[in-house]
Amino acid sequence: MNDPFEFLRQQELKTEKEARRLKLRTQALMLIFCGILLVFFAVLFQLQIVNGESYLPTVVHRTTTERERVDSVRGEITDRYGRLLVTNTMSYHVELKLSDMGERRNEIIAGLLALCREQGVEWAENLPISQTAPWTYTKEDPLCYEHEKEDGGTELRPTYLGSLAEKRGWVEDAVKDSPDAETLFTAMCLDFGLIEEGESPDAADREMAGVLYALYLRAEQVYYLDYIFARDVDIAFISKAKERGLDGVVFKTDTARKTLTSYAAHVLGTVGAIQDGEQDYYTDLGYPLDARVGRSGVELAFENWLHGTSGTRLVVKGEDGVIEGESWEDDSPPVAGGNVSLTLDLALQTTTENLLAQFESGLEEEGGAAAVVMDMSGGVLAMASYPEFSKSQLNRATQGLYAPGSTFKMVTATAGLTEGVITPSSITTCTGYYTYYGTTYRCWIAPGSHSTENVVEAIKDSCNVYFYDVGANLGIAKLGEYASRFGLGQYTGIEIDEYKGSVAGPETSEALGQVWYGGNVLNAAIGQDNNQFTPIQLANYVATLVNGGSRYQAHLLKEVRSADSGQVLHEYQPQVLSTIDIDPANLVAIKQGMYDLSKTPSMAQYFGSLPVEVGCKTGTAEVAESTANAVFVCFAPYDDPQVALCLVAEKGASGGNLAQIAAGILQQYFSTGSSLDSAPAENTMVR
């Protein structure tokens, strides 16, 4: 009988055999797969590691990254009401790139210079050697400079020219071996290939050498990298330059400063290139050394707000020169300068300048003149100087020094009243003459007299005898003290250049090499002797007086706003420099005298039609026999002062001659209740 389990055993054996065969096939397939992977990795290793470099030219896309400086846009300047005074306009400048000129370098530069002469284009270079023979240095020892060490001593160091001269073998040691200009210049021209051995350079070689010197300073990275050869060139120049195929001569868009008014030129100032000796200062500020910076006036005073910050653009180019991408280095694009708002009122400025010019044109002997209009906290509303900026860059409003004449008498009155030398009711008898230690001094009215005078009448009549007596009893020390406390002979703090002036006294006389005599105090008390003040000091002194004794810093800045959003970055806050404790009763007396003067027939003809009451004082400052400067100060309104004025006219005779100008200025300021109306036309008398 068959075993019933035999069939099952046979089936189990068959299943085991099939499993073993499947396992063997699987292992064989795995071995084959691993072998293929090994071959694949071997091929990749061969291609990328062993022979990788040989394939790079065909598989790698090469690019280059160039750094390009992008200058910021200079901020705009406006008046107090936002009227544009100075802005920017698009222009083109010329840059030179030595690396693109190749062997044609001298030929290209010569052609460019010829085109400049033809088109009347000025170019920039700074080689400190004269333009024509005989060759001389245009600055003292241009190869080295005296450097102050930390220990307080000094040492000589090579300048930019000295460093380059040593490097190129023109001199052995710039510090120890400074050749004369002819020797150095001849060596330069030989090195630049402008002349042959034994030849002497000429003026054309000097032009070439100046440009080559500027290029090589940049090539040596001794100086700034970009060479801006010429600015503000026109399309005609660009077209002619491109027609001549001048390689390495590159034209780029730029911005140029544009002044939108002919007024306030002395205040607004100018921009220009960085000068020799200023490089370290501006480099420390992060400026490129071919930057345009403020050179005078507001442009210089507010340079830190106006300039902005340059940026560096990274330009990625392919092998074919096509730009493939751009970005800003350090993610810092250029930042435009802030917009500066001044305290000036353009309409009032226009009126002031026109009236001043009209007055001067009517004088037989024309001289200089100045005017300052100021609010009670030192803000300058108008500032004029004559002759105009194109004829004289001296700003007489802040840099003209003048004896104040009788406009000083309020200082003497304040000092006398405060120190108890006089009271508002004190009486002095004017006979026309005043005798002091045997010397007789005359009043301007002599041989007549003013009879009896109190301080109100003395200010109105400008009685010299009254103020001689006050000055003699005060003494020069007290008189000088009060003058200084009013800010006379002191810097006003105005942001643009100003002169300090001087207060009469023994120290001033000694400094001028003069002898001080006791009787000099009498002349000092009436604004003569060595009293020398600027018109802005006189305006500020009047403002200080009538506002009750607070002397504010004079200022032109109102606020600064960002160029992009108009956000206020800085707002000027009035600053009190000093105070004078003036008794209200004494101030009333002094102001009354100035008010009464405005009501005299000679003054009322000008001030009578104004919408406000005025207080004023005239001054006639003798500068030579039969020659006097006219000085005039005033304030308005009388009961609530808002503005103070000072006018000075050289050789203008009597200060009363300036009253008509003052009335015209006040008419402009007060007639509309706002100075936002349009500026009057030039040479128009405003009344």
Phi, psi of 224 (to 5 degrees): -70, 160
Residue 249 counted as domain residue? no
pLDDT of residue 224: 52
CA distance 88 to 687: 35
**362 and 213 part of one domain:** no
Where helices occur in 323-408 by DSSP H, the ranges are 346-361, 396-399
CA distance 86 to 255: 13
pLDDT of residue 679: 47
Residue appearing with tokens 């280095």:
329
Q: How buried is residue 427: exposed, middle or buried, by Cβ count under 10 Å (0-12/13-18/19+)? A: middle
Calculated CA dihedral for residues 45, 48, 51, 52, nearest 10 degrees: -160
Segments in the chain below pLDDT 50 = 1, 223, 678-687
CA distance 484 to 225: 51
Q: Which two tokens stand for residue 102?
A: 């190749």
Residue 88 counted as domain residue? no
Residue 10 counted as domain residue? no
Residue 313 counted as domain residue? no
Phi, psi of 325 (to 5 degrees): 180, 155
CA distance 608 to 458: 22
pLDDT of residue 255: 83
Residue 291 counted as domain residue? no
On whether the CB atoms of residues 163 and 155 are closer than 8 A, the answer is: no
Reading phi first (left if > 0) and then psi (alpha if -120 to 50, else beta), residue 493 is in left
Residue-wise pLDDT for 380-404, tens only, equals: 999 999 999 999 999 999 999 999 9
Number of domains making up the chain: 2
Q: How far apart are the first and last CA of the chain?
A: 151
CATH code at position 412: 3.40.710.10
Q: Which of 194, 228, 262 finishes a domain?
A: 228
CA distance 166 to 145: 15
Residue 176 counted as domain residue? yes
b/e 118-148 (16+ beta carbons within 10 angstroms → b): eeebebbebbbbeeeeebebeeeebbbbeee
CA distance 388 to 373: 18
CA distance 7 to 10: 5
**350 and 224 part of one domain:** no
pLDDT of residue 72: 81
On whether the CB atoms of residues 95 and 252 are closer than 8 A, the answer is: yes
b/e 203-221 (16+ beta carbons within 10 angstroms → b): eebbbbbbbbbbbbbbeee
pLDDT of residue 308: 86
pLDDT of residue 384: 97
Number of residues in the chain: 687
Domain of 104? Answer: 98-228
Residue 144 counted as domain residue? yes
Residue 134 counted as domain residue? yes
Q: Which two tokens stand for residue 277?
A: 């000796």
Q: What DSSP letter does each residue of 408-440 carry, written as one string?
A: GHHHHHHHHHHTTS--TT--EEE-SEEEETTEE
**Cα–Cα nearest to 241, from 249, 229, 230:** 249
pLDDT of residue 325: 82
**Cα–Cα nearest to 345, from 376, 302, 384:** 384
Q: Which of 165, 193, 228 finishes a domain?
A: 228
Residue-wise pLDDT for 425-461, tens only, equals: 999 999 999 999 999 999 999 999 999 999 999 999 9
pLDDT of residue 294: 94
Q: Which two tokens stand for residue 115?
A: 């085109």
